[in-house]
Chain A
Amino acid sequence: KNEVEQSPQNLTAQEGEFITINCSYSVGISALHWLQQHPGGGIVSLFMLSSGKKKHGRLIATINIQEKHSSLHITASHPRDSAVYICAPIQGAQKLVFGQGTRLTINP
């Protein structure tokens, strides 16, 4: 069993839809990254959070450390949001454990 499970693995939606990507993990962590990887391959950190909720523009991330679950939401989705979204809990010594990613496609 993977230490980090993301769902869904693939998601296709229409522009404007509300998107939710879920992440469950089995390891003990101090915080968690949500990363975005565009088709060109570059990886950027969207959020790092250890509790509650963070919001950046149309993106919202929530985490429940006790339940070992995090979600990433995208409001008013746009084709430029099409990317792979990766959940990465942070273990000790700054080590990340990565989910396999959720491939999101937003159609115009």
Chain B
Amino acid sequence: NAGVTQTPKFRVLKTGQSMTLLCAQDMNHEYMYWYRQDPGMGLRLIHYSVGEGTTAKGEVPDGYNVSRLKKQNFLLGLESAAPSQTSVYFCASSNHGTSGIITQYFGPGTRLTVL
């Protein structure tokens, strides 16, 4: 199993450009998440999905859109990148166990710089 993979690993954008980050998991997990990590701050939830075809806003959703057309993939889109979106982006996935308590598995991260 590859676990959780993210594409690309690094990207540099100019202000106003658009891009899509891809997250894929091969563990048949229902839940998927996109986080951003900035210096001096903890990880913050951007958007998440509790199943194929569903998405929900997290703590910092502005400027991002997401789609979950297939269970194994969760896409994060930036329609018009801004320097404030310079960050490291992590994807994670998890399942809902019988006890209701789950473990999240994280991808390796995507380092995005917006000039």
Residues of A within 8 A of B (CB): 2, 4, 30-31, 33, 35, 41-45, 48, 50, 86, 88, 90, 93-101
Contact = CB atoms under 8 A, between A and B. Distances in A.
A4 B42 CA distance: 9
Interface residues of B, number: 26
The 4 closest A-B pairs by CB, nearest first: A98-B42, A43-B106, A98-B43, A31-B101
Interface stretch (B67-75, B77-85, B88-96): B88-96
Of B44, B88, B106, chain A has the most CB atoms within 10 Å of the CB of B106
Contact of B102 (A35, A41, A94, A98): A94
B100 A95 contact: no
Given A43-B90, A95-B58, A48 B101 contact: yes
Given A41-B88, A42-B106, A98-B42, 16 more contacts: A4-B42, A30-B100, A30-B101, A33-B103, A33-B104, A43-B106, A45-B104, A45-B105, A48-B101, A50-B101, A86-B43, A93-B48, A93-B50, A94-B104, A95-B48, A96-B43
Contacts of A94: 31, 48, 50, 94, 96, 102, 104
B112 interface: no
A42 B58 CA distance: 22
A31 B99 CA distance: 11
A98 to B, nearest CB: 4
Of A4, A30, A44, A94, chain B has the most CB atoms within 10 Å of the CB of A94
A48 B31 contact: no
